[in-house]
């Protein structure tokens, strides 16, 4: 492409004469590029969130969920399907029969309306076993005490409050030994948990801990559990222990063929890989959708440039009449397109980075560990797309302008 100062100056003047049209022409590129940057940044942030949340659980834990799953897919219980194949007996059997397991905690969850005097709060309750504190990383009692094994194995109306529930009901007052109602059932508060924030994608402070047996029999009327976590002794081979846990559960459920497993047993690393495969596929799909907006923006640029060629027909004829070559005319419109797409791409990158940063601030403010990540790959993709769009969609209008015959152009009305 031959470039001279007159061609470049004429192009800039043409853009200045139509400032609003130039901006609107670039808008499609701005939106498309920023969307690509934002989606790839959000994907990286989601990856960091998943990794941080799972690592926060602990690398010495094995999760057991009801329902079978593919090796690289999520368990059916995480897909909104209610599966009732795990029981409290299963957790107790694992503790008895797998010597590398120090504790196995069962969980039952439900929603709750809790009240004290004239204060009411909508929260959730978690039925757990007495060894919950030995399994959950970072869980500590601030005042009072936690549930005992005897209490978790019987229908006892005692509760341990999360810090935010306590603040909602009691403010700065101590909740210990106070009587609260959970879904109209009266419970005595025996403990208050230290503030913990978010873990395992849940607000650990906005919940109430009660006996797993009480949650099953009194609150929900069920015999199954929602899930369990198994803590492995230090130095043990996680994969080996995982296979032993599977064997115990197959014996408990009278399963001979592993293909008929009605449970999923995964380590923290496997859970991370399974979730990453889902979020990764979704991230690439959304990036492709964002790339379509770049195509639409390119079509818009080509349309506007064709209009610009039509409006400049007489000017093109005059320039050719005084000696301008077809290459000069072609360069004029091609450079105009490249400038528009380049400016749109630059603004789009800046806007995408800014919005991605705001998203990371908001998510971190909500209590989640979300890293602000702008990868070099996303910037390279944005630049490459900008160049391709500029050259591809600017070539046809530039060629059309270059082919105009000077006499016919001067006669154009």
For 137, residues 6+ apart whose C-beta sits below 8 A from its C-beta are 56, 57, 58, 199
Cα–Cα distance between 164 and 117 in angstroms, integer?
Answer: 17
**197: alpha, beta or left, given left = phi > 0 and alpha = psi -120 to 50?**
left
Residue with tokens 């978010």: 198
Q: Is 100 helix (H, G, I), strand (E, B) or coil?
A: coil
The end-to-end CA distance of the chain, in Å, is: 31
Query: Confidence band (pLDDT; 50, 70, 90) for 138?
Result: confident
CA 119 to chain centre: 35
Q: Give the predicted TM-score (pTM) of the model.
A: 0.61
Exposed (0-12), middle (13-18) or buried (19+): which is 323, by Cβ within 10 Å? exposed
Contact 174, 191 (CB under 8 A): no
Q: Is 397 helix (H, G, I), strand (E, B) or coil?
A: helix
Burial 272-306 (b: 16+ CB within 10 A, else e): bebbbeebeeebeebbeebbebbeebbebbbebbe
φ/ψ (deg, to 5) at 116: -150, 120
Considering all CA atoms of the chain, what is the largest pairwise distance in Å, rounded to the nearest integer? 101
User: What confidence tens digit (pLDDT) does each residue in 139-178 have?
Assistant: 889 999 999 989 988 899 999 999 999 999 999 899 999 9
User: What confidence tens digit (pLDDT) does each residue in 280-336 have?
Assistant: 666 677 667 766 767 777 777 777 777 666 666 666 666 766 666 767 677 766 777
Give the H or E element holding residue 115.
strand 101-116
Q: What is the mean pLDDT of the chain?
A: 78
Q: Is 117 helix (H, G, I), strand (E, B) or coil?
A: coil
Contact 212, 130 (CB under 8 A): no
Cα–Cα distance between 168 and 51 in angstroms, integer?
Answer: 31
Pairing type for strands 185-193 and 179-182 reads antiparallel
| Both tokens assigned to 244 | 């032993």
For the chain, the structural domain boundaries read: 5-53+274-411, 84-261
Contact 386, 342 (CB under 8 A): yes
User: What confidence tens digit (pLDDT) does each residue in 337-352 have?
Assistant: 777 778 888 888 889 8
pLDDT, position 8: 45
pLDDT, position 270: 65
Cα–Cα distance between 27 and 136 in angstroms, integer?
Answer: 50
Check whether 3 has a pLDDT greater than 50. Answer: no
Give the H or E element holding residue 406.
helix 406-411
| Both tokens assigned to 356 | 């991605």
pLDDT, position 407: 59
The larger pLDDT score, comparing residue 136 to residue 56, is at 136
For 12, residues 6+ apart whose C-beta sits below 8 A from its C-beta are 339
Check whether 180 has a pLDDT greater than 90. Answer: yes
pLDDT, position 10: 47
For 361, residues 6+ apart whose C-beta sits below 8 A from its C-beta are none
Residue with tokens 């049209």: 21
The larger pLDDT score, comparing residue 33 to residue 217, is at 217
Under DSSP, the state recorded for 233 is: P
Q: Report the share of the chain in percent with pLDDT over 70.
A: 69
pLDDT mean over 114-119: 91
Q: Which of 106, 112, 81 is nearest to 92 (CA)?
A: 106
Residues in the chain: 413
Cα–Cα distance between 53 and 411 in angstroms, integer?
Answer: 71
pLDDT mean over 362-386: 76
pLDDT, position 164: 92
Bridge partner list, 110: 125
Cα–Cα distance between 201 and 122 in angstroms, integer?
Answer: 18
User: What confidence tens digit (pLDDT) does each residue in 61-112 have?
Assistant: 888 888 877 655 555 545 456 678 899 999 999 989 988 888 889 999 999 8
Cα–Cα distance between 47 and 283 in angstroms, integer?
Answer: 10
Cα–Cα distance between 1 and 149 in angstroms, integer?
Answer: 81
């Amino acid at each position: 492409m031959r470039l001279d100062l007159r061609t470049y100056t004429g192009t800039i003047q043409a853009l200045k004469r139509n400032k609003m049209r130039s901006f609107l022409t670039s808008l499609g590129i701005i939106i498309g590029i920023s969307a690509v940057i934002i989606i790839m940044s959000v994907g990286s942030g989601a990856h960091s969130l998943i990794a941080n949340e799972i690592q926060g659980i602990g690398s010495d834990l094995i999760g057991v969920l009801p329902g079978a799953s593919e090796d690289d897919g999520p368990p059916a219980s995480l897909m909104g399907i209610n599966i009732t194949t795990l029981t409290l007996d299963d957790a107790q059997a694992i503790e008895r029969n797998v010597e590398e397991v120090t504790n196995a905690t069962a969980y039952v969850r439900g929603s709750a309306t809790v009240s004290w005097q004239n204060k009411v709060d909508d929260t959730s309750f978690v039925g757990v076993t007495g060894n919950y504190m030995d399994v959950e990383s970072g869980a500590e009692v601030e005042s009072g005490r936690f549930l005992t094994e005897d209490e978790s194995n019987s229908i006892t109306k005692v509760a341990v409050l999360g810090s935010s529930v306590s603040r909602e009901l009691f403010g700065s007052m101590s909740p210990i030994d106070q009587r609260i109602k959970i879904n109209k059932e009266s419970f005595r508060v025996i403990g208050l948990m230290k503030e913990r924030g978010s873990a395992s994608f849940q607000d650990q402070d906005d919940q109430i801990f009660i006996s797993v047996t009480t949650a099953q029999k009194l609150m929900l009327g069920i015999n199954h559990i929602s899930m369990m976590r198994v803590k492995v002794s230090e130095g043990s081979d996680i994969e080996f222990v995982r296979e032993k846990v599977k064997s115990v559960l197959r014996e408990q459920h009278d399963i001979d063929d592993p293909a008929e497993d009605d449970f999923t047993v995964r380590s923290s690393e496997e859970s991370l890989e399974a979730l990453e495969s889902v979020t990764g596929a979704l991230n690439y799909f959304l990036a492709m959708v964002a790339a379509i907006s770049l195509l639409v923006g390119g079509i818009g640029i080509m349309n506007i440039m064709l209009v610009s060629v039509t409006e400049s027909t007489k000017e093109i004829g005059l320039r050719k009449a005084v000696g301008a070559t077809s290459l000069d005319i072609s360069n004029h419109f091609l450079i105009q397109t490249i400038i528009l797409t380049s400016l749109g791409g630059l603004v789009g990158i800046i806007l995408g980075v800014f919005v991605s940063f705001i998203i990371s601030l908001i998510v971190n403010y909500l209590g989640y560990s979300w890293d602000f990540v702008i990868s070099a790959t996303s910037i390279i993709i944005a630049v490459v797309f900008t160049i391709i769009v500029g050259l591809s969609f600017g070539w046809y209008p530039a060629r059309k302008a270059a082919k105009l015959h000077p006499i016919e152009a001067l006669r154009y009305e």
